[in-house]
A and B are shown apart, each in its own frame.
Chain A
Amino acid sequence: MATTSIEKEDAIHPGKPVVVDRYNLGARINHWITAVSLILLALSGLAFFHPSLFFLTGLFGGGQSARVLHPWIGVVLFFSFAGLFIRFWRANLPEQSDREWLAHANDAIAGNEEKLPEAGRYNPIQKFNFWCMSLLIIALILTGLAIWDQYFYEWTTIPQKRVAVLVHSLAAVLLICIWIVHVYAVIWARGTLRAMTRGSVTGGWAWRHHRRWLKELAERRRFKKPATPAE
């Protein structure tokens, strides 16, 4: 029995409907700093990636300032994501039941969740995204430092910089793909976005998508007093 998939901020508010706390304020702020920096990085990075997108540097005040800002935003993203990593890595560790869940991946994609083993706080696709993002961000910060000529020119040789810039662009492409999957999944599974805005989900959402997580919370009596009804 996995006991790692509950975070300390998770709690059930009994009521009608049941509301379940999923992300506390710190986690949400942390997430949105990461999200904003990732989008800014994608926009400025794509401008350097292909001439047809160079106009995007206009959003950053021109080519020179986009070139200055991009790596610094990268540093913000790295530390911000590190915060998310520290918060969520345990709940994203692979477990035995993930294998069976993945064997039914077709049902997951078709939305037939009743045919799937009950998922914990994260399902295997979410875990896959999490670890991909983590590895890609490490690759991006390392290769990014290697091509941050303004401060780290001396650290690497020119042949190393060539490899770094190629790996940096490919890793960025993969990260953008993972990001598209992440954003799409949030839109597709209705009721997910509020976890990162209000910090909570409905009991029905938890029952449908992360039933084992909900059951564990109930089992451990992680209840909070019901939200006071509006006056």
Chain B
Amino acid sequence: MNSLILRTAVPALVGLMLLFSIYVLLRGHNEPGGGFIGGLIGASAFAIYTIAEGLASARRALIVPPITIAGVGLLFAALSGVVSLFFGDAFLTGQWWFPAFNPDLKYLSTVVLFDIGVYLVVVGAIVGIAFALEERE
């Protein structure tokens, strides 16, 4: 789309949206939500970028194909469930690691890994759909 306003606003908007999506991902991991809603916000950022800058530069900005992102995310989510095998717990049981240098750090857990996986699946799938729709136009 050839709109000067959009093209001027997009770099700032996309950066903010991606930052906010990661904030939501990490904020949400102990609340309901997290990965899914963060992934949707992240995917919207790429969708806006695609509308403003075109498909080719959006693909360059993403570096890897969106479907690969989704696959890696699914892998993260699946493997986060297997980690509990080594701690004698049931499949998908959350495992936390509180490092000695900062015992209050609460992000080093398989639960967050699972949420990151969900985030990547959502970003990959939605951006893939957005690219496919853009391609047809």
Partners in one complex: no
- Chain A residues at the B interface, C-beta cutoff of 8 Å: none
- Chain B residues at the A interface, C-beta cutoff of 8 Å: none
